[in-house]
Amino acid sequence: MTDLETRGAPPHAPLLRRAAPALVGYAAVRALGLVVLAVWSAARGRSAFTLLTARWDSLWYTRVAELGYGYEVRLPNGDVHSNLAFFPLLPWLERLLHAVTPLSYAGAGFVVSLVASLAAAAGIFAVADRVYGPRVGVCAVLLWAVLPVGIVQSMAYSESLFTALAAWSLYAVLTGRWVSAGTLAALAGLTRPVGAAVVAAVWVAGVVSFARDRDTVVSFGRERGVKHAPGADHDEHAPAPALGASVPPCAPVWRRALGMLLAPLGAAGYVLWVGHRTGRGPLGYLDVQAGWRNGFDGGYAFARFVADKFTSFPSALAGLGLIAGVALLIWLYVTGVRARQPVELLVYTGVVLALALCASSYFGSKPRLLMPAFPLLLPLARALARPRTHRSALLTAGLALSAAVYGAFWLNGSGPP
């Protein structure tokens, strides 16, 4: 058994009990961020609650929850901003919570995000604990909490909800719960366009598992001189696959196939519905996104945006910062590949990175669009989890305070588009 498999072996304590320190730490970081935001906003005569629930995308989500789809804004330059660009799961939950509680739609969105952020923290812990053990799980959750744009996790946005669904879907794949993985992937696909990353992870992991089954059957037959039917289930005590592949319990072929079939239904269903509603066919959703000047251009527009920063000295510093940030993301991803993270994590992270960095518009949104790529934090979490408890605690506290101050400054300024 390899070192990674030893650390990733599930402890005897229930998962939520193991996750308790991570969830307490996460709640403390988010509470600090909200307190700093409230104080900062009050000093400027603004409402922290309004900043969290009634600006930017949160207004579009609450409008969908209250009035449904069909609203659009036509800009002077000819662009058409349609609320069909916003996937429906968050508005559905806002409408449901509004119907059963006295909360407004905005308040319902805030509560959904708070609950979803805790679920996301638990899911991140579950994944990191499964792969590297509980200490790394706690550190991964805290690092996700202290991201500079971590305040978005408390906004009436869909990032927290999506991250929760993605993390638990990945955990379900890692533990061989294929139907749950597919169901959660379908829900993630109803939350954000990047739900395609979860679908890709489930599908690639499923294909790898089928290929591994075939190889195991062939090698076992050669060793024992016995032929087995293709797709037959294997002994759960069979040798573990190579490091870098997930090591879930064996699951019947039909469960894996069903999970893979369920995974794309959410995203595909919504995209096809938009195409039908707009009368533009299967590509109708792309037309909606084009109205927002969103598209996938391989990173060309983002590269031009960075290059334009070097036209003057003050903005050149920002350009250098952007280049350093992208280089850090690539380095973290390559580190995960070299550490042979499970293939489902690598596929998921790679697709999130590609969709975030290669989109053609709203460059200020990229930090929050990258927030669901939590596996990028695993190399840093492993380093933070080494036996230097006092240093790690001081570093985390410093990052938490910095993130809280930055979040308050950010939302009271230009904020996320």
- Token code pair at residue 302: 């983002």
pLDDT band of 218, cuts 50, 70, 90: low
Give the pLDDT score at 215. 62
Contact between 403 and 29 (Cβ < 8 Å):
yes
Q: What is the mean pLDDT of residues 137-165?
A: 96
Contact between 289 and 85 (Cβ < 8 Å):
yes
pLDDT tens column, 80-135:
999 999 999 999 999 999 999 999 999 999 999 999 999 999 999 999 999 999 99
Give the pLDDT score at 365. 83
Mean of the per-residue pLDDT values of the chain = 87
- Token code pair at residue 355: 């969709």
Residue 303: pLDDT over 70 = yes
pLDDT tens column, 378-401:
999 999 998 777 888 888 999 999
Q: State the Cα–Cα distance between residues 9 and 1, nearest whole angstrom.
A: 10
Q: What is the mean pLDDT of residues 228-248?
A: 42
Q: What is the mean pLDDT of residues 17-28?
A: 95
Q: Which residues does residue 72 pair with via DSSP β-bridges, in sequence order?
A: 82
Q: State the Cα–Cα distance between residues 170 and 245, nearest whole angstrom.
A: 13
pLDDT band of 328, cuts 50, 70, 90: very high
Tell which residue, 363, 359, 366, 364, has the closest CA to residue 413.
Answer: 364
DSSP letter for each residue of 294-340: --B-TTHHHHHHHHHGGGSHHHHHHHHHHHHHHHHHHHHHHHHHHTT
Whether pTM exceeds 0.85: yes
Q: State the Cα–Cα distance between residues 67 and 64, nearest whole angstrom.
A: 5
